[in-house]
Structure 1
Amino acid sequence: MSVSYRKITTADLDTFIEMRINQLREEGANEDIDLRHALKDYYTRHMADGTFISWLALDNEKIIGTSGMSIVEKPPYFGCPSGKIGLLSSMFTDKAYRRQGIAKELLTKVVNEAREKGCGTVQITASDMGVLLYTNFGFTKNNNFMQYKL
C-alpha cells in the first residue's frame, strides 16, 4: 500500500459526499433527509471562493481518507485576533485503513492551511472516535460550547 495525499477537486465531489454521508451514519446521525444536493451545492460554492479546503488520502486512485475545513470569520476576540476560524469537518478514514496515521496526516495538512490563511484557531465537534486524535494533536476541550437548533 502506498498512500498519497492531494487537495480535493470538483471531480472528487461525488465520492467525497458519499464518504461524508458514511461518516455521519457511522457517528449515529438520524438520516431523515437526503443531503447529497445540499452538500454538493455547499462544497461547490465554497471550494470556488476558497472558504472550503479538503485534503484527500489515496491508495493508488482510491480515496481512503478525507478532511475538510470551512473558514469562517467573526469579530476578532482576544483568543483569535484575526477573527478567522477553521471549522473542521469530514475527517474520515475508510475502516480498512484506520490506525495507520492517515487521519493525523490529513489533520496536519488542513491545520497548516488554516495557519497559512490567517486563522487564529481551529475548532471541531469531535466524535467519540476522534477525540483521541484531536487531543493528541493538541486540541483542548471548550466546555462553554452551546448550540440552539432552529
Structure 2
Amino acid sequence: MWPLFYRGVESGAIKVITRKIASSDIDLICRHREMMFSEAGRNPDDLLAMAGPFKDWLGPRLDNGTYFGFVIEDEGRAVAAVGLMEIDWPPHPLHPTEPRRGYVFNVYVEPGYRRRGIAQQLMQAAEQEFTARGIGYLILHATTAGRPIYERNGWVATSEMAKVLSIKS
C-alpha cells in the first residue's frame, strides 16, 4: 500500500491516499476518461460513441491486470487516477535491449483538486511501478493542459505522428 500523502491547501488540509487501481474502478476510469477528452475539446458525439466500446475493452484488462495504475482518494472519495499498460515493442535506439514500453494514459485529476501536486504524485507512482517492472522507456499522449506538468518532470516531445484511416464496419 502506498503511503499517505498530506498537503496543505488554501481551503485547509486535505488527506489523500494513493492505492492501486481495481476492477471495481471501471466506472471511475470511464468517467475520468470522458471528462479528460471533453476538457480537451473533443466532439461530444465521438465521446458518446467511444464510451461503450471503451468500457467493454477495459473490463477484461482490469480483470487480468494488463490495465493497471493508481487512484488517489481524499477521505475515501476518488479524485484522480492514472492508467498504465506494458506495450510489446521492438527494441529501439532509445531502449535497445528492452522489447517493451510503458504506456501512461487516462491521467485525470478532478477540477477541485488541481494545482495541489496530485498529478505529480500520480506520475511518481507510475514511474515507480514501471521501474519495479523493469521498464525504463515510457510514452504518453499529453493534452495541452498536461504538457507543462510532464515537461517539468523530464518528459520530452518525440517525432511521433498519427493518421486515422476510414474503416467501414
TM-score (norm 1): 0.91
- Whichever residue aligns with residue 81 of structure 2, its letter is T
Taking the aligned partners of 1:48 and 1:85, their CA distance within structure 2 comes to 21
**Between Structure 1 and Structure 2, how many residues are aligned?**
149
2:19–2:70 Cα contact (<8 Å) kept: yes
Q: Once the 2 structures are TM-superposed, how far is the Cα of residue 126 of structure 1 from its aligned partner?
A: 0.7
User: What is the rounded CA distance, in whole Å, between the counterparts of 1:49 and 1:77 in structure 2?
Assistant: 28
Matches within 5 A, 1:1-40: 1-33=14-46, 34=48, 35-40=50-55
Aligned equivalents of 2:150, 2:157: Cα separation in 1: 10
CA separation in 2, counterparts of 1:131 and 1:22? 17
Segments of 4+ moved more than 3 angstroms = none
Partner SS for 2:44? coil
1:117 and 1:40 mapped to 2: Cα distance?
Answer: 26
- Once the two structures are superposed, residues 77-129 of structure 1 have per-residue CA deviations (whole angstroms, 9 ceiling, x without a partner) of 22112121111111111110101110100111111111222223111111111
- What percent of counterpart residues are identical? 24
- For residues 94 and 65 of structure 2, the distance between their equivalents in structure 1, rounded to whole angstroms, comes to 24
Call closer, same or farther: CA 1:72–1:24 in 2, change over 3 Å: same
2:111 equivalent among 62, 76, 95? 95
- Report the Cα distance in structure 1 between the residues aligned to 2:41 and 2:99, rounded to whole angstroms: 32
Taking only aligned residues, the RMSD between alpha carbons, in angstroms, comes to 1.4
Partner amino acid, structure 1, of 2:123? L
Once residues 31 and 111 of structure 1 are traced to their aligned partners in structure 2, the CA distance between those partners, rounded to angstroms, is: 32
Label 1:5 to 1:91 Cα distance change in 2 as closer, same or farther (>3 A).
same
Distance in 1 separating the partners of 2:133 and 2:66: 10
Which TM-score applies when normalising by structure 2? 0.82
Matches within 5 A, 1:1-150: 1-33=14-46, 34=48, 35-80=50-95, 81-142=97-158, 144-150=159-165
State the AA in 2 paired with 1:60: E
SS at match of 2:127: helix
Supply the distance in 2 between the matched residues of 1:120 and 1:43 (Cα, whole angstroms).
Answer: 24
CA distance in 1, matches of 2:126, 2:92: 22
